[in-house]
Amino acid sequence: MHSPITGTAAGVPFTALPPVRDAAAAPLIVTWHMLDAPRSDAAFAAALPMNGLPAWRVHLGMPMCGARMVDGTMDAGAELMRKDVLMAVLYPFVRQASEEFPAALASIREQLPVDDGPIGVLGGSLGGAVALRVLAETDTPIFAGAVVNAAIRMRSVVNLFPGAYPYDADSEKAVDSMDFVAEADTIGRAPLLVVSGELDHPALRTDAIDLVDAIGQGAELQPIPGLAHPLADEPGIEPAPQLPHARDVDTALTAWFQRHLANAD
């Protein structure tokens, strides 16, 4: 099995896993990790490697995570969460990651032998919001998407934190801009697998069902028995052995993307 390749793409750190078979130009799947464990591109690659796919899997780092941590820890990000979970972390992280994506994709295509056809996208938790935003708002051709325990309605994620959030006009606009059930028509331009742990937060499970229902044909819900929200043990920054429930997710994702790779040509 090939070793991971690490680097940066237009300033975005990545961990790339080569295709199972050497190819002059193989399809590309781009991922964004969680803020829960696994909370770095390298750790996400270890948790969901999707080995066996004849495609590159390039795992991008989220802002202030992994190689972009401040002083080598998540403390600065945690402090921003205490300051304002929505407007200092959730909203700007998703916005930055999605705005970085076009230049990062162009750089990946310059650095790695990937083809220039449609790509796959995958996101976990907050990274799921990035994948959904890419599906909804960019013109990048996408052959299939998938999300795992995703932040589908950002208001549901804000509600997971203690206390009533003090919404104002700006934060109301921001949180409503990341209600991806409302954008089901554009998200549904590519087949979408919505993976939902049966022990995930109830509101996130409800949002997963609502998104699949809103998209209709082309979207599939994949429940994972026994899976809570994280996909790895704490601290979730360094690569770690794959947990059994993450293996179940990995198996489902591998089968999903394998099924749709024919549309990557």
What does the pLDDT look like over 189-219, one tens digit per residue?
Answer: 999 999 999 999 999 999 999 999 999 999 9
CA–CA gap between residue 57 and residue 38 (Å, rounded): 16
Express as a percent the part of the chain with pLDDT over 70.
Answer: 92
Residue with tokens 């954008």: 183
Residue 167 class from Cβ within 10 Å (0-12 exposed, 13-18 middle, 19+ buried)? Answer: middle
* pLDDT tens per residue, range 112-145: 999 999 999 999 999 999 999 999 999 999 999 9
pLDDT at 32: 98
User: For 211-247, how does the pLDDT look when each residue is reduced to its tens digit (9 = 90+)?
Assistant: 999 999 999 999 999 999 999 999 999 999 999 999 9
Max mean pLDDT among 20-24, 185-189, 248-252 falls in: 248-252
Band (pLDDT 50/70/90 cuts) for residue 37 is: very high
**What pLDDT score was predicted for residue 167?**
97
Token pair in block for residue 252: 């489902």
What structural domains and CATH numbers belong to the chain? 5-264 (3.40.50.1820)
Digit-coded pLDDT (tens) for 82-91 = 678 999 899 9
Q: How many residues does the chain have?
A: 265
- Quickly state the pLDDT bin for 75 (edges 50, 70, 90): low
CA R_g for the chain: 17
Residue 70: pLDDT band by 50, 70, 90 thresholds? low
What is the token pair recorded at 73? 């820890």
**b/e sequence 26-49, b meaning 16+ C-beta within 10 Å:** bbbbbbbbbbbbbbbbbbbbbbbb
Mean pLDDT of the chain: 93
